[in-house]
Amino acid sequence: MTFLQVIDCKTSRFDDMDRLMDDWVTATEGKRTATHSIVGRDRSAGDHYVEIIEFPSYEEAMKNSNLPETNRIFEEMVALCDGLPSFTDLDVVRDEQLNKATARRFFEDVAVRGDLELVDELCTADYRDHDVAKAEETVVGCEALKEDVAGWRAAFDFAFSLHCQLAEGDQVSTHWSWRGTHQGDFMGLQPTGQEVTMDGVTIHRFRDGRIAEGWWIFDMLGLMRQLGAVPS
C-alpha cells in the first residue's frame, strides 16, 4: 500500500532548506526508497511549508528513515525550522489521477467501443493531433478527430491493450499494444483479412481537464509490411 509522509514546518530560511533537500537527494542516490517529493508554500503565510513524500509502502519508508544520510539531513533541517516540524503518516486509500482516467476512456470508449460523441466531452474544441501516419497536422478539432477514429474503425476490427500510463504535469503518456483484423479500405489497400499488431506510445496534453493535443508514435512501416504493402 502506498504510504505518504507529510512534514509541516515554518522557516524563514527556505533557500537554505531547499539546498539541504538537494543535498539529501544527492547523498541518497541509489539508496533512498522515496519515489516522489513535493513541497508547497502556504499562500496566506509565507514562512509555512508542507512537504509530501511518497513511498511504495510504510516498510519502505522506514528503510528510508533509517538511512544515516536521512538522519543527518533531518537534524540540519530542524535547525533551520522555527520550532519543531510536525509529521503525519498516511496510508493511501484512494489514488485517482484524473487525466490518466480520461486518457484511458479515449482508448477504451472512443477508439474501441466507437462512442465518437464522447470526443466532445473528452477533448477541447481546438484539439490538435500529431500522427506518424500523416505527413502533416491534419486532425484539428473534434469533428476531424471523430473522422480519423471512424476511418481506423472502418479499416480494422481492433482492440487496445494498455500496459502503463505515466502522468507528469499536464501530460499523460500511455504505452499500448494494438491488435486488429484488416476488414476495410486502409490507405488505398483493400481488405486482406490479415491479423496485424502494433506497439506504440501516445502522449496526451491536457487543458482544463480535457485532451488538447495528442502525439501518436507507432511503427506504421511495420504495419504496412504486415499488410503486404511493402516488402518485408
Same domain, 220 and 107: yes
Does residue 209 lie within any of the structural domains?
yes
Q: What does each C-alpha distance from 83 to 10, 22, 42, 88, 181 come to in angstroms?
A: 7, 22, 17, 16, 66
In a shared domain, residues 102 and 217: yes
Quick one: pLDDT at residue 131? 81
Mark whether 87 and 7 lie in a shared domain.
Answer: yes
- Residue 110 falls inside a structural domain: yes
Quick count: other Cβ atoms within 10 Å of Cβ 121?
13
Tell me, yes or no, whether 19 and 82 share the same domain.
yes
Domain span including residue 113: 98-226
Alpha helices in the chain (DSSP H): 14-27, 58-65, 68-80, 98-105, 119-122, 142-155, 220-226
Last residue of a domain, one of 63, 91, 119: 91
> Which residue, among 128, 111, 143, has the nearest Cα to 210 in the 3D structure?
128
CATH number at residue 152: 3.10.450.50
Q: Are residues 86 and 111 in the same domain?
A: no
Looking at the fold, whether 133 and 206 belong to one and the same domain comes out as yes
The answer to the question of residue 231 being in a domain is: no
Kindly report the CATH number assigned to the domain that includes residue 25. Answer: 3.30.70.100
Q: Which residues contact 134 (CB under 8 A, 6 or more apart)?
A: none
Q: What is the CA radius of gyration of the chain?
A: 24
* Residue pointed to by grid coordinates 511495420: 222
The verdict on residue 232 lying in a domain is no
119 and 44 in a common domain: no
Domain boundary, last residue among 42, 64, 91: 91
What domain count does the chain have? 2
Cell reading at 91: 496510508
Q: Are residues 153 and 80 in the same domain?
A: no
pLDDT at 171: 97
Do 118 and 216 belong together in one domain?
yes
Residues 110 and 220 in one domain: yes
pTM of the model: 0.80
The answer on 220 and 106 residing in a single domain is: yes
Query: Do 10 and 34 lie in a common domain?
Result: yes
Is 161 strand, coil or helix? strand
Report the C-alpha dihedral over residues 165, 105, 110, 175, rounded to 10 degrees. 10
| CB neighbourhood size of 40 (10 A) | 10
pLDDT value of residue 232:
72
Residue 109 CB partners (closer than 8 Å, separation 6+):
115, 118
DSSP string, 195-222: EEEEEEEEEEEEETTEEEEEEEEE-HHH
Q: Is residue 123 part of a domain?
A: yes
Tens of pLDDT, residue by residue, the chain (232 residues): 899 999 999 999 999 999 999 999 999 999 999 999 999 999 999 999 999 999 999 999 999 999 999 989 889 999 999 999 999 999 999 888 899 999 999 999 999 999 999 999 999 999 999 887 765 656 689 999 999 999 999 999 999 999 999 999 999 999 999 999 999 999 999 999 999 999 999 999 999 999 999 999 999 999 999 999 888 7
pLDDT of residue 137: 59
